[in-house]
Amino acid sequence: MTIAQEIYDYSRAVSKSELYKADSEEIKKRIVDSIFVAYGAKNAEPIKIMRSALLPSTGKYNSRVYFSKDDASVETAAFINGSMTRYLDYNDTYLSKEALHPSDNIPPILALSCAMDLEGENAIRAIKVAYQVVCALADAVSIRDRGWDHVTYISVSSAAGMANLMGMDNQKFVHALNLAINNNISLRQTRAGELSMWKGCTAANASRNSVFATILADGGLTGPAPIFEGEMGFFKQVSGPFKLDLKPDRISRTMIKNYPVEYHAMSGVEAALDIKSKVEGPIKSINVETFSVANKIIIKDPEKLRPKTKETADHSLPYIIAYSLVYGRPGPDSYEDKYLKDKKILDMVDRMKFNVSQRFDAMYPEYLPIKITAVTAKSKAESEITIPKGHFKNPYSWDDLRAKGIAIMGNKAAVDSIIKVGKDLEKKSVSDLFEVVSNVDS
């Protein structure tokens, strides 16, 4: 059996079965979380550029752009909404052989659901399919070290979710995957060296292309097959051979972010804040014990020591630790130019040394370990964190999510209105959700 057929069979099983209450509850939390973090990026420069360059827009299927009265073709809405969701690096994460953000699947599925005037239950099922597929791919094989970016997997999972949403038969479903993947492979250069605006947009672009592919497949267009196992297919060109295990439930192992930082830095923030509360006097030296994956992604590049962009800074463990030690809890505004040039932060970065620990490598990805030791003229302070807030072993509640929403939006009434429709989404249409989202600033 081909991988594409396995994904179809899983999707069909989800469509025919009852939704588990626990799955539904966790998916609804992630939908709401994705909207909160999107709000924090609605006025970011890349989003302004997109609105100017891409709107007005119209197509056969049209949806709503978040936090506005603007309608757009569903692929344009998916791209803009997806970029808002991802831009702050504040949406959920899954850690395995490949680290990625499953909620990158939510904006395209919501956009297509809105365009098709579907019920919330349909969207929840489709999101379950997308989450399961993308996390299964992350468990199967890493493509990072081969030079490919993890959002390539979003191409697969978002297409699977939307094909489920459209109720495609076997043939159309497989061709939706074929079309979505073949021309939608993303280079890892997105996350190498000095990071650009595109870092926060590339997952949205992957899902935008998958919207386009899925609609074409629904119309009857065929794509190259077998897309994974073929002579020049995904196995041969991108990943190497792998087996896909879609049986374990992975939704509850995805993690809502407590800070707007690359997820491997999450424990670093908590440890740094702990150090800040305990240390006496100016810090003379800082030693950070970490693990190999964190070193590869958020430490080793020289650009991480002097980040020049927001995108590099939120992927820089030295910067994130230094900011937390100097100013406390990082927020969406912690990457403004004044902080990137802040002498206190840069001096703190220069006092750091990093070392990879075999002990911590053995703990990852089940845990997210870090140990920070800070030395002053008067004392030494240590902090070791292995399970940060929001980790699947220390998960977010609805109250935690409400606090996060208020911190981002600054509007309790708007936060409560989004949570209310989110909690009842099985009984609502997706258009009901977009109506609330569109009116939060009214």
Task: Give alpha helix (H) positions in 17-105.
Answer: 21-40, 45-54, 74-87
pLDDT tens column, 91-107 = 999 999 999 999 999 99
pLDDT tens column, 272-324 = 999 999 998 899 999 999 999 999 999 999 999 999 999 999 999 999 999 99
Query: 116 Cβ partners below 8 Å, 6+ apart?
Result: 61, 165, 166
DSSP-derived 3-state class of residue 352: strand
- The span from the CA of 433 to the CA of 424, in Å, is 10
- Find how far residue 358's CA is from the centre of its chain: 28
Average pLDDT, integer, range 379-390:
96
| % of the chain beyond a pLDDT of 90 | 95
Q: Is there a contact between 423 and 112 (Cβ–Cβ < 8 Å)?
A: no
| Torsion angle defined by CA atoms of residues 337, 343, 345 and 347, in that order, rounded to the nearest 10 degrees | 150
In the chain, what are the domains?
3-258+403-438 (1.10.4100.10), 263-385 (3.30.1330.120)
Residue whose pair of structure tokens reads 């750091």 in the numeric block: 352
Q: Is the pLDDT of residue 130 over 70?
A: yes
Q: Is the pLDDT of residue 64 over 90?
A: yes
Average pLDDT, integer, range 399-411:
97
Where residue 442 falls among pLDDT bands split at 50, 70, 90?
low
Mean pLDDT of the chain: 96
Q: Which amino acid is at 383?
A: S
- The span from the CA of 62 to the CA of 112, in Å, is 8
DSSP conformational letter for 44: S
